[in-house]
Amino acid sequence: MLRLSKRLECIARQVPDGSRMADIGSDHALLPSWLAERGSITFAVAGEVNEGPRDAALRQVKTAGLQKLIDVRLGDGLEVIEPGEVDVITIAGMGGTLIASILEAGAAKLEGVRRLVLQPNVGEDNVRRWLVQHGWVLIQEQILEEDGKIYEILTAVPESATDITNLKLYEPFQLGENVKLSENRLLLMGPYLVREGSPVLVKKWEAEIKKLQMIERQLGQSDNPASRKKERELQEEMHAIREVLACLPKVKPSFS
């Protein structure tokens, strides 16, 4: 039996039993292969835009004897699927901007899709923004650390399929006495993640502050007036993150 990384297994566990799925940017097709081996999916498309990873996917599927269940296809984003062909789409291990652009370009293929499981490596807010703008609602967010890297996994369904609304999910709310968590902050940090306030989330944003401090130091060496403006923006951003981190343990998840 195949073994998956903790990250891929968390993604796989978001795919409901009996799904017909497409894994876009499947690389070695490990995710659909793991699900198919367990009998959890009835059919999968493993999509790849590059021939190298496509060939690796073909080899994996053949070695595992899963050719009847997994169709490996070469193509850009959602162009590898027909409308109505799958009910779950997973896209993992790419930047958030690329994931959002794949969804945007393939919007017509999302008709009938019941669930998106998305794992951006960076730029998670771009994915959340795309979901809000296109009538998808997050039903779960996960954050995990593996091999020194932190990953977020976002699970979304069409707004017609849930009582949760984006209005409620991203509604600004008061944190502690003085901090108001804005819609933008929720898009950046994750509406569920911020309410849960896990140690991994704190670690992620503490690391982000360190990155911003490094950029601030570099900007400090420049005489360009634009650098002063950028420095102030960075300081404001770091202040906002620190304020949220200071209040996190007091917040409890609640959308009811």
Backbone dihedral region of 190: left (phi > 0), alpha (psi from -120 to 50 degrees) or beta?
left
CA distance 40 to 42: 7
Provide, rounded to whole angstroms, the least separation between the CB of residue 77 and ligand SAM. Answer: 4
CA distance 154 to 66: 27
Contacts of 42 (CB under 8 A, 6+ apart): 18, 19, 20, 69
Nearer to ligand SAM, 79 or 159 (CB): 79
Nearer to ligand SAM, 23 or 216 (CB): 23
Nearer to ligand SAM, 46 or 175 (CB): 46
What is each CA distance from 66 to 9, 34, 47, 96, 199, in whole angstroms? 19, 10, 15, 30, 39
Nearer to ligand SAM, 105 or 167 (CB): 105
- Containing 62, the helix (H) or strand (E) segment is helix 51-63
Provide, rounded to whole angstroms, the least separation between the CB of residue 45 and ligand SAM. Answer: 11
Provide, rounded to whole angstroms, the least separation between the CB of residue 5 and ligand SAM. Answer: 7
Binding residues (CB under 6 A) for ligand SAM: these are: 8, 24-27, 47-50, 53, 76-77, 92-94, 98, 102
Residue 47, strand partner residues: 24, 73
Nearer to ligand SAM, 57 or 247 (CB): 57
Residue 173 · residue 254 · CB < 8 Å: no
Provide, rounded to whole angstroms, the least separation between the CB of residue 248 and ligand SAM. Answer: 28
Provide, rounded to whole angstroms, the least separation between the CB of residue 23 and ligand SAM. Answer: 7
